[in-house]
């Protein structure tokens, strides 16, 4: 029996990963900077490159990288991860007849303006000096679907945040959980709650024009996006604010209950968001038992010294979806 009767190619996607892009946009002396890690992957009529060693259908991943840098240079959307991802995705699907889908993921690293005080004045954001003000990243994931025709491109956008590390030293309890022969955890009405937030939210798909004149794409895309009420930038800001403020102010009964409140608020306040997913590790902080020297560090009110436990952690996740009307 030949190998080909046993198996077939059921899925194929390829492209460039970890394309590191830094871009400065100068408005006179006022500079804007972004740093992205870009992944750009393609699907289409590429099977023979796997099954027949035929590279005639392969747009080299090196070329995909070059297109990414070219668009970083000319795109009017470079400062906005979702819009830049849409630009890159539509460019790839429009340019190559046999490529029907592009999957672009952008991880945006943080660069914030350094506040500088001159004389007695309050500190002001510096026009061209920046610092890394957090390890969290904004994520924009875009699928450009050209399977309905190159003149009917559809954008499916999922955005979010990863690695947003938060902690609260009170306002969190965990009680009334299952108690049986395996239970050693004590119920607490006051504990430390820390998690590294992983959030993603899915927008309703919307039509985008294929780029006709690359340098004018901005206007067309803006119009198309506006028609759907889509504004990736505003939703990103709202989602981050809701996440942080709910975490801070909720009298948390559990990670599960706080997660649900955050997700409900994002859906309620952002009409274009269809569903919200959080994955929240419960990063445990365990009070150090000092009974052996006659010191109480274990009752909630006396617990002041803790061991941060890296592993194992809980892992609480859920997707909250908009009800269809
Ligand atoms: O908020 C929590 N949810 C759990 O499911 C859980 N399980 C656990 O041991 N501690 C916690 N805390």
**Within 10 A of 313 (CB to CB), how many other CB atoms are there?**
15
Residues making up the annotated binding site for 5-hydroxyisourate are 61-62, 174, 191, 256, 282
Q: Which of 171, 173, 177, 189 to mutate to test the pocket of ligand 1 (most atoms within 8 A of CB)?
A: 177
Atom 1 of ligand 1: nearest residue by CA position? 254
Task: Return the pLDDT at 211.
Answer: 76
Distance CA 167, CA 285 (A): 10
What does the pLDDT average to over 111-136? 96
Distance CA 310, CA 284 (A): 7
Distance CA 177, CA 282 (A): 16
Task: Return the pLDDT at 218.
Answer: 46
**Main-chain phi, psi angles of 321, to 5 degrees:** -115, 150
What does the pLDDT average to over 120-132? 96
Question: 231 pLDDT band (50/70/90 cuts)?
Answer: confident
**Mean of all residue pLDDT scores within the chain:** 93
Atom of ligand 1 nearest to the CA of 185: 9
Regarding predicted confidence, which is higher, 15 or 300? 15
- pLDDT of 76 > 80? The answer is yes
Q: Provide DSSP, 96-147.
A: -TTEEEEEEEEEEEP-EEEEE--TTSPPEEEEEEEE---S-EEEEEEEEE-T
Distance CA 106, CA 85 (A): 7
Question: 213 pLDDT band (50/70/90 cuts)?
Answer: low
Catalytic residues: 16, 61, 284
Q: Which of 128, 103, 157 is nearest to 25 (CA)?
A: 128
Lowest mean per-residue pLDDT among 175-189, 200-214, 281-295: 200-214
pTM: 0.93
Where do the domains of the chain lie, and which CATH numbers do they carry?
Answer: 11-133 (3.10.270.10), 151-325 (3.10.270.10)
């Amino acid at each position: 029996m030949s190998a080909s009767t046993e198996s077939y190619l059921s899925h194929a996607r390829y492209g460039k990963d970890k394309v590191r892009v830094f871009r400065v946009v100068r408005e006179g002396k006022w500079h804007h900077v972004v740093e992205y890690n870009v992944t750009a992957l393609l699907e289409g009529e590429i099977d023979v490159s796997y099954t027949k060693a035929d590279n005639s259908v392969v747009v080299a991943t090196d070329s995909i990288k070059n297109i990414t840098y070219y668009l970083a240079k000319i795109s009017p959307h470079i400062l906005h991860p979702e819009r830049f991802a849409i630009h890159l995705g539509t460019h790839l699907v429009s340019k190559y007849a046999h490529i029907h889908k592009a999957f672009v993921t952008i991880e945006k690293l943080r660069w914030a303006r350094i506040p500088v005080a001159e004389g007695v004045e309050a500190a002001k954001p510096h026009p061209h000096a920046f610092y890394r003000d957090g390890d969290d990243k904004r994520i924009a994931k875009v699928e450009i679907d050209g399977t309905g025709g190159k003149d009917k491109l559809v954008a499916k956008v999922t955005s979010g945040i990863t690695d947003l590390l938060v902690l609260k030293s009170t306002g969190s309890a965990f009680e009334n959980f299952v108690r049986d022969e395996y239970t050693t955890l004590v119920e607490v009405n006051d504990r430390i709650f820390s998690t590294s937030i992983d959030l993603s939210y899915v927008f309703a798909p919307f039509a985008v024009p294929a780029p006709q004149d690359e340098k004018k794409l901005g206007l067309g895309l803006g119009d198309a996006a506006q028609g759907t009420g889509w504004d990736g930038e505003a939703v990103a800001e709202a989602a981050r604010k809701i996440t942080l403020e709910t975490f801070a102010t909720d009298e948390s009964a559990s990670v599960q209950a706080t997660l649900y409140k955050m997700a409900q608020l994002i859906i309620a306040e952002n009409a274009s968001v269809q569903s919200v997913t959080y994955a929240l590790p419960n990063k445990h902080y365990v009070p150090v038992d000092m009974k052996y020297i006659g010191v109480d560090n274990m009752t909630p009110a006396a617990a002041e010294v803790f061991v941060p436990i890296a592993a194992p952690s809980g892992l609480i996740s859920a997707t909250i979806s908009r009800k269809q009307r």
